[in-house]
Chains A and B, each alone.
Chain A
Amino acid sequence: MSADPPIFPDLRMLSTIDQVGVEERAQRFQARSIKSESKLSALKLAVTMLDVTTLEGKDSPGKVKQLCAKAKRPLPEDPSIGPAAAICVYPRLVRVAKEAVGRSGVKVASVATGFPSGQSRLKERLSEIRYAVGAGADEIDMVISRGKLLHGEFRSIFDEIVRCKEACGGAHLKVILETGELQTYDTVRIASEIAMAAGADFIKTSTGKIQPAATLPVTLVMLEAIQDYYDRTGRMVGMKPAGGISDAKTAIHYLVMLKETLGKEWLTSRWFRFGASSLTNDLLMQIRKQQTGRYQSADYFTKD
């Protein structure tokens, strides 16, 4: 290991978040007019940023294979659309997914560490990561112990993430903050700082199992944390809003916010992802609408 060991961030340097200001600012991003060609290219970009996700108890190898086919070529009649960035599954299905995506360039992400609650012993959580990485996962989506965070046990959260990062080896680590359980924007900011300092490659809003999931304001708080961290250290960290983003219009609002907060460098699937399951079809329907001028129907798009 050549890199210096991660250092716990100096949280005294953080200023408090202006809740009204953040929400007001986030609302402004929804007032941009993105039409015709810019809309089409935003939609196409959004498709390539998708982490096509299935995290249900009833997931089966068949369902995962089907989703992989969709991720590889979202719109069968148009090869210029996609592929999606990654497919996101439970650890047991990583091997199936890895085989199904083949060399298409679609990454395989796995949730781990006692997803979605994170309420199991660190030992088991780490071994879950090793299992997923061993099965071929390129990316690991971990959950943090929100209970400890709310208790103020920040060091413990930091150490936990550092250990997880070690367990990942070469795989990318996305840290899920589960902002719906963090109560205030200040806690979200603190959690973001800790995760980035501990070595997260991505910070992610939610598991999708808790409401509210991703919202524009909470994502803005995290984007600003990424910006400040980049200014201090020069290291880029990715962002992944997940859960609750189900229509193309909202996805475009996120892209506008990303561009206006972090700039063009982040506007690729390397640094930004959407965690979503139903968003894919709405993006595809909007793309077809832009191309044909006809409003589309869900009847003509594959369900998975």
Chain B
Amino acid sequence: MAAKNRLAVNKTYKLYLGGKFPRTESGRYYEVKGRKGALLANASRASRKDFRNGVVAARKAWPGWDGSSAYLRGQILYRIAEMLEGRTEQFEEELRIQGSTPSTAKKEVAKAVDLLVHYAGWSDKYQSLFSSVNPVSTPHFNFSVPEPTGVVAVAAPEKSSLLGLCSAIAPILAGGNTSIVLASHSKPLCAITLAEVLNSSDVPAGVVNMLTGFRDELLPHFAEHMDVNALLLCSDMEEEAKMVGKRAAENLKRVVSHPDSALEEDPYHILDFQEVKTTWHPVGV
């Protein structure tokens, strides 16, 4: 039978930068092992140059993503959920070979889809929730509105490789930011497959850039890059947070720390990467 003699076609897990799937410019890779130590795949080991290219792509994509209507961003987030739903089996399989039981894998994928739908809904509503008209004692109409911070670097949760990743990037996207994401080191497979989902969901090129590699190698550059406006660090290690805080101080980067796990669905996570703009408008003129 032909099927028996078929040559295995293994997937090459590459990076996702500016809407393309390039190999790392460094030519390096690392081995991803399964539960019993079996080789699952070779993942790209991104370099700081790859990160830099990601920042350039994210910066270029930002005006377009920020400028698109909140309603459209919601539709695109919903479309990501649709695409993810359609590829449930592939994600479950990847979670299983990386150590999840079939039932937890199934739950995780379903939760990730629901989470995306949740933030899709918020994308054109959080503005009204977080805006305010402020009472002031001068004859001014004074109001505050949230605006996206800009380019956000994300060190995604290590343990929760799909749900954790989605819970980190969905609020950032809903809020009109663009991002460069470092996926879980030990479980990178879902991240690159998610990038394929993003790529087919009308997410403009450069809005999400996905890297796989070594966190201790890349994180200092995440913190230091002057063109990164904010950093989301999902980590339980105090040392790491301290190092990031120090290096991020140079350009007053907004640093947000979360534990190394999936974040709850919550519109306040959108507010993590918003800057509040207050306008004083004279009245009676």
Contacts and interface: CB of A to CB of B under 8 A. Distances in A.
Interface of A: 293-300
B251 A295 contact: no
B50 to A, nearest CB: 12
A300 B225 CA distance: 12
B55 interface: yes
A298 B251 CA distance: 12
Contacts of B251: 297, 300
A295 B250 contact: no
Q: How large is the interface on B (under 10, 10 to 19, 20 to 34, 35 or more residues)?
A: under 10
B227 interface: yes
Nearest to B251: A297
B226 interface: yes
Contacts of B221: 295
A299 B224 CA distance: 15
B215 interface: no
Nearest to B151: A297
A210 to B, nearest CB: 25
Interface of B: 52, 55, 221, 224-227, 250-251
A298 B56 CA distance: 11
Given A299-B227, A300-B226, A294 B52 contact: no
Given A295-B52, A297-B226, A297-B227, 4 more contacts: A295-B55, A295-B221, A296-B226, A300-B251
B137 to A, nearest CB: 34
A298 B226 CA distance: 9
Nearest to B48: A295
Chain A to chain B: the 7 pairs with minimum beta-carbon distance, closest first? A297-B227, A297-B226, A295-B225, A294-B224, A296-B226, A295-B52, A294-B226
B100 to A, nearest CB: 37
Nearest to B221: A295
A294 B221 CA distance: 8
A interface majority secondary structure: loop
B167 to A, nearest CB: 28
23 contacts: A293-B224, A294-B224, A294-B225, A294-B226, A294-B250, A295-B52, A295-B55, A295-B221, A295-B224, A295-B225, A295-B226, A295-B227, A296-B226, A296-B227, A297-B225, A297-B226, A297-B227, A297-B251, A298-B227, A299-B226, A299-B227, A300-B226, A300-B251
A248 to B, nearest CB: 13
A149 B55 CA distance: 46
Contacts of B55: 295
Nearest to A298: B227
Nearest to A296: B226
Contacts of B224: 293-295
Contacts of B226: 294-297, 299-300
Contacts of A295: 52, 55, 221, 224-227
Contacts of B225: 294-295, 297
A176 to B, nearest CB: 31
B63 to A, nearest CB: 13
A295 B227 CA distance: 7
Contacts of A294: 224-226, 250
A128 B139 CA distance: 56
A286 to B, nearest CB: 12
A293 B48 CA distance: 11
Nearest to B227: A297
A178 B131 CA distance: 54
A11 to B, nearest CB: 46
A304 B238 CA distance: 43
A294 B222 CA distance: 10
Contacts of A298: 227
A245 B250 CA distance: 30
Of A293, A294, A298, A299, most B-chain CB atoms within 10 Å: A294
Contacts of A297: 225-227, 251
Nearest to B225: A295
A298 B228 CA distance: 11
A163 to B, nearest CB: 46
Of B227, B250, B251, most A-chain CB atoms within 10 Å: B227
Nearest to B223: A294
A298 B224 CA distance: 15
A300 B253 CA distance: 14
A175 to B, nearest CB: 36
Nearest to A293: B224
Contacts of A293: 224
Of B224, B225, B226, B251, most A-chain CB atoms within 10 Å: B226
A154 B116 CA distance: 67
